[in-house]
Amino acid sequence: MHLGWYLAAPIGEFRTGLNALQIEGRRLVVLRRENGVEVYDADCPHRGANLANGVLRGKAIVCAFHARTIALGERAQGLCVRQYRTLVAGDLLFVRDPAGIDGGFEAQMSALSESHTFLPIPARTMTAPARLVIENAFDSSHFQPVHHLVNAVRFSEFKRDAGYAAGGTFVVPASPWQRGARDTALPFVATAYSPSIVISELGGARPYTTITAARDTPDGALVRIVLALAKETAGDRDVPYLLRQLDTAIDADEEIWREVREIEHPAYFADDAAVLGFRTFADEFRPTPP
């Protein structure tokens, strides 16, 4: 688990009480209460049982293994587990290491959830490392061949107060069903707030935003995509069409990702700059070994 934010899941996926959650090797316990949610380390400090299997008693969990009482949150004395930072935006639960890096994400997500409606697509597990899924948003030279854009896309990096941002112009082909229609140029910006979360904004007359989150599991990358539409116009949008488009796009990516290998000496070109920029940004979230 790195030091940045992760999307755990839509909050509705957790039942009231204790829930197990695993994020890249870190076992966590999600405590959903009537009026909120808390996340703690799940390894019992006695001898390592999973506290998600215990019983909640006030501000503690009675461990299922030896029935010791484990306090929730750091305490000066006695057995206890660390609390994680949480953020609920829309109905999405985000989690990060308490000593980690916010990177401007809380403010950004709070603002986005005020102005936008979130429509999560069902989670998918993909045969690809999570990093490839997130850095894809910055991979300018894949958009034309994989997603059939008209133009060879070039990205510039954007200076932002927070996160890592890059973008350019997508020229989308005219629909073959619309006579006389022209190709359309749309501004695109991707901003990563952690190695596991990127927010992509496609502008133009019908703008939309997607939040893409990915984390590694033993079965591959667990990928969650959330469509975010401005509240005032969300009612007028063809949501099934947009969701289908996102699905088609990720299918096209996955077909490639499945067979991408890390090679020893990649030959980078100028238009790989945003991918490399994202990787440098992501490296800052690596926890320093104790």
Quick count: other Cβ atoms within 10 Å of Cβ 283? 10
If the CB atoms of residues 45 and 104 are measured against ligand FES, the closer one turns out to be 45
Contact partner at residue 47 from Fe ion, ligand FES, none, CB < 5 to 8 Å by partner kind = ligand FES
How many other C-beta atoms lie within 10 A of the C-beta of residue 83? 15
* Tokens at 81, concatenated: 């587990």
Smallest separation, CB 217 to ligand FES (Å): 25
- Token pair, residue 290, equals 């104790």
> Is the CB of 68 or the CB of 85 nearer to ligand FES?
68
Using the rule CB under 5 A, which residue among 253, 257, 275, 282 binds Fe ion? 253
List residues binding ligand FES (CB under 6 A).
44, 46-49, 63, 65-66, 68
Closest separation in Å from C-beta 18 to ligand FES? 14
| 181, 175 Cβ separation under 8 angstroms | yes
Burial class (CB in 10 A: 0-12, 13-18, 19+), 1: buried
At residue 13, what are phi and psi to the nearest 5 degrees?
A: -80, -5
From the CB of 79, what's the least distance to ligand FES, in Å?
8
Shortest reach from residue 258's CB to ligand FES, in Å:
40
Q: What is the sign of the dihedral through the CA atoms of 150, 153, 159 and 165?
A: positive
Residue whose CB is less far from Fe ion, 17 or 145: 145
Q: Identify residues 170-189 at the interface with Fe ion (CB under 5 A).
A: none
Considering only 19, 113, 136, 191, the residue that binds Fe ion (CB under 5 A) is 136
Residue 214 Cβ vs ligand FES, minimum distance, rounded to whole Å:
32
The option from ligand FES, Fe ion, none interacting with 44 (CB < 5 to 8 A, set by class) reads ligand FES
| Residue 231 touches which member of ligand FES, Fe ion, none, C-beta under 5-8 Å by kind | none
What tokens does 89 get?
């935006």
Closest to Fe ion by CB, 87 vs 199, is 199
- CA–CA gap between residue 280 and residue 53 (Å, rounded): 39
Asked if 208 and 227 touch (Cβ cutoff 8 Å), the reply is yes
